[in-house]
């Protein structure tokens, strides 16, 4: 599952709630720090690219000094990304492979929306708080200058962009306790049965309360289509939403050939769409009913 939200929205409270219930937490920010700790190849590469003055006295990375050099132009930013992104990706993959087979993996990624990563997750969970409230938290709780807080919020995706990819929308306009309670409800009612259904290859029993909590029904067909494309890749020639207005939308994937059709069948089940017979697949997500038909191009 992908977890994201704007800076100051309250992702850490949601992540903590999931971890307390057994979630396997993969924190992108933590990984990004780990791969450039003193003694790592990542830090050595940064020093080689940007100079010794990006270090502080104890040999650790001075992030402000690095930012001053790495974000001056596109070439410098590209150099930074070419060093850190492969390291973060490799470490993330190591952690994912270490997760137990029955784990509910929570990938905590601040820029998930901005990086167009939403289709690659079973679910995208967005934590939301009003921008002014986020500014207040950043200033009062983190000691950030207000101008910096507003600039960082403005540089991230806006609420409409987040809602367009959200499968779960957790509103953090209230207390931390209220957010934790809402997160616990999502864990028990959606994440646990979803994981069980995927692992056991069982189509979901639709949960009416989860359907009522759908954050943006108008984007649901697009979200499912994009998810199916992420699973199908080059094995599909087209993916069409056959019943866009339905509460139970149907989709038709046209496989490139018979071999591709077999590959698709193997890819759909772990991706959240399990076989219900006759080249048909049903959603394993109790909050997102859908039927998928696979046919072979003639």
Tens of pLDDT, residues 1-41: 999 999 888 899 999 999 999 999 999 999 999 999 999 99
Please indicate, yes or no, whether residues 119 and 248 belong to a single structural domain of this protein.
no
Please indicate, yes or no, whether residues 187 and 252 belong to a single structural domain of this protein.
no
Please indicate, yes or no, whether residues 162 and 95 belong to a single structural domain of this protein.
yes
- Cα gap 200→284, rounded to integer Å: 10
- Tell me if residue 114 falls in helix, strand or coil: coil
Residue 241 pLDDT exceeds 90: no
Please indicate, yes or no, whether residues 48 and 154 belong to a single structural domain of this protein.
yes
Read off the pTM.
0.89
Q: Tens digits of per-residue pLDDT, 109-122?
A: 988 999 999 999 99
pLDDT score, position 247? 61
Cβ neighbors of 128 (< 8 A, separation 6 or more) are 5, 6, 9, 159, 162, 169, 170, 171, 172, 173
Percent of the chain at pLDDT > 70 equals 98
Percent of the chain at pLDDT > 90 equals 72
Read off the pLDDT of each residue in 42-46 and give the average, rounded to a whole number. Answer: 94
Residue 76 pLDDT exceeds 70: yes
Please indicate, yes or no, whether residues 39 and 153 belong to a single structural domain of this protein.
yes
- Cα gap 236→226, rounded to integer Å: 12
Please indicate, yes or no, whether residues 15 and 117 belong to a single structural domain of this protein.
yes
Which residue, among 103, 153, 112, 146, has the nearest Cα to 131 in the 3D structure?
A: 153
- Cα gap 104→111, rounded to integer Å: 21
Q: Tens digits of per-residue pLDDT, 162-216?
A: 999 999 999 998 889 999 999 999 999 999 999 999 999 999 999 999 999 999 9
Around Cβ 280, how many Cβ atoms within 10 Å?
A: 14
Residue 246 pLDDT exceeds 60: no
- Is 47 part of any domain? yes
Residue 142 pLDDT exceeds 90: no
- Is 203 part of any domain? no
Residue 68 pLDDT exceeds 90: no
Please indicate, yes or no, whether residues 31 and 159 belong to a single structural domain of this protein.
yes
Weakest mean pLDDT among 13-22, 145-154, 230-239: 145-154
pLDDT score, position 244? 54
Please indicate, yes or no, whether residues 251 and 178 belong to a single structural domain of this protein.
no
- Cα gap 180→224, rounded to integer Å: 27
- Is 40 part of any domain? yes
Range of the domain at 189: 2-197
The tally of domains found in the chain comes to 2
- Is 205 part of any domain? no
Query: Residue 219, annotated ligand binder?
Result: no
Query: Residue 9, annotated ligand binder?
Result: yes
With tokens 């934590």, the residue in question is: 127
With tokens 């009003």, the residue in question is: 130
Please indicate, yes or no, whether residues 57 and 87 belong to a single structural domain of this protein.
yes
Which residue among 162, 197, 232 closes a domain?
Answer: 197
- Tell me if residue 141 falls in helix, strand or coil: helix
Please indicate, yes or no, whether residues 222 and 92 belong to a single structural domain of this protein.
no
Please indicate, yes or no, whether residues 229 and 91 belong to a single structural domain of this protein.
no
Residue 97 pLDDT exceeds 90: yes
pLDDT score, position 69? 83
Query: Residue 69, annotated ligand binder?
Result: no
Q: Looking at residue 235, which CATH number applies to its domain? A: 3.30.460.10
Q: Rounding to the nearest 10 degrees, give the CA dihedral for residues 188, 3, 231, 157.
A: 140
Q: How many residues are there in the chain?
A: 298
- Is 270 part of any domain? yes
CB 162 within 8 A of CB 215: no
- Cα gap 51→69, rounded to integer Å: 9
- Cα gap 31→74, rounded to integer Å: 24
Residue 147 pLDDT exceeds 80: yes
- Is 209 part of any domain? no
- Is 211 part of any domain? no
Weakest mean pLDDT among 24-28, 39-43, 84-88, 151-155: 151-155
Residue 243 pLDDT exceeds 70: no
Write down the mean pLDDT value for the chain. 92
Query: Residue 89, annotated ligand binder?
Result: no
Please indicate, yes or no, whether residues 158 and 37 belong to a single structural domain of this protein.
yes
């Amino acid at each position: 599952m992908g977890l994201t939200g704007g800076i100051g929205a309250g992702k850490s409270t949601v992540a903590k709630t999931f971890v307390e219930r057994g979630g396997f937490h993969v924190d992108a920010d933590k990984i990004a720090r780990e791969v450039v700790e003193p003694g790592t190849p990542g830090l050595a590469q940064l020093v080689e690219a940007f100079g010794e003055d990006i270090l502080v006295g104890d040999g650790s990375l001075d992030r402000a000094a690095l930012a001053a050099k790495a974000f001056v132009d596109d070439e410098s930013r590209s150099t930074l990304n070419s060093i850190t992104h492969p390291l973060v990706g490799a470490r993330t993959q190591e952690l994912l492979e270490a997760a137990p087979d029955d784990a509910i993996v929570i990938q905590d990624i601040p820029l998930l929306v901005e990086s167009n990563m939403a289709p690659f997750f079973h679910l995208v969970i967005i934590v939301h708080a009003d921008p002014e409230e986020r500014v207040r938290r950043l200033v009062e709780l983190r000691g950030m200058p207000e101008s910096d807080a507003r600039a960082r919020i403005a540089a991230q995706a806006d609420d409409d962009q987040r809602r367009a990819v959200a499968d779960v929308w957790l509103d953090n306009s209230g207390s931390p306790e209220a957010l934790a309670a809402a997160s616990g409800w999502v864990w028990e009612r959606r994440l646990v049965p979803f994981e069980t259904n995927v692992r056991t290859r069982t189509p979901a029993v639709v949960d009416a309360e989860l359907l009522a909590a759908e954050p943006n029904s108008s984007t649901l067909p697009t979200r499912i289509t994009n998810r199916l494309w992420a699973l199908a890749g080059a094995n599909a020639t087209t993916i069409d939403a056959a019943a866009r207005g339905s509460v139970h939308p149907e989709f038709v994937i046209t496989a490139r050939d018979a071999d591709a059709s077999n590959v698709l069948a193997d890819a759909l089940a772990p991706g959240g769409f399990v076989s219900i017979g006759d080249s048909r697949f049903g959603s394993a997500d109790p909050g997102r009913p859908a039927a998928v038909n696979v046919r072979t191009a003639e």
